[in-house]
Structure 1
Amino acid sequence: MKLLKLLDIIALISISLLLIFDYFPNLPLARTIPKGFLILLIVLFVFSILFRRYINPSSLEIFKWMLLSTIYLLFLMVLLTFLGGKSTVGIAFTNVFLWMALLLASYDIYSQWKKAKKSDA
């Protein structure tokens, strides 16, 4: 159980830093951090997401993680946009692919919610 929480924290910190560096590439901190560290963040993020599948968390835990991470990412994008940031790779609310990904994520969250509800019964 503790490993899941650690992986969740690693994933959220990694994606947060990557989004901040994407929205604000000219930050002094962004220039001082080596590219290898950013690559390490991406690897940690992918590893935490992939490794999570092999721990066999409950359906309710998966549902909570999916909902929390989706809401957190949307909140972070709104916050970074309001702070004056602009994504350099196109992760913005005007991107059609973002809305398609959100639609797919919403369907997946709904399916996981039904699965969690069914396993509780």
Structure 2
Amino acid sequence: MKYFNYIDLLFYVPLTFLMVYDYFPDLSMFNFIPREIYIWVILGLVIFSLFFKRLQTDNRLEIVYSQIFSLSYLLFLMIILTVSGGESLSGIGFDDIGTWIVIILSIARIVSQKRKLQKE
């Protein structure tokens, strides 16, 4: 089984740039592209990756593992950016209750799907 493939980079690379931009907006490497373009690119890539992953495989276990990877990657990225001294302008940080709710709901869904697959 292959849980991560190269097409996923179309999602993770721009996501990484967006998160860095959110935590460190004053970096000179982000000044030449307007923020709205970043937002539209990431929204498009999120939608594309959601549909593409579903169309790419019917293996539900593979989808669960890709969700685990995605959540782990986001948490790792948030930790690295926070430890590096960044602070999220959009509120995607560990001090925001909304972030914790999303993390808990994501973990609950992953655990639920994994248990459901183990029963089958």
Q: Verify same fold: TM over 0.5.
A: yes
Percent of aligned pairs with the same residue? 35
Shift of 1:62: 0.8
- CA distance in 2 between counterparts of 1:5 and 1:115 reads 25
- CA distance in 2 between counterparts of 1:108 and 1:41 reads 23
Query: Which residue pairs with 2:51 in the alignment?
Result: 50
What is the SS of the residue equivalent to 2:31? helix
Runs of 4+ in 1 over 6 A off after TM superposition: none
Q: Which one is further off, 10-19 or 84-93?
A: 10-19
Q: What is the aligned length? A: 118
- CA distance in 2 between counterparts of 1:114 and 1:50 reads 24
Deviations 1:37-94 (A, max 9, x none): 4122331232112332233331221111111111110010000011111101110101
* Structure with higher helix content: 1
Query: Which residue pairs with 1:6 in the alignment?
Result: 6
Query: 1:23-102 counterparts in 2 under 5 A?
Result: 23-35=23-35, 37-38=37-38, 39-102=40-103
Shift of 1:116: 3.3
Q: Which one is further off, 57-66 or 82-91?
A: 57-66
CA RMSD of aligned residues (A): 2.2
Letter in 2 for 1:76: L
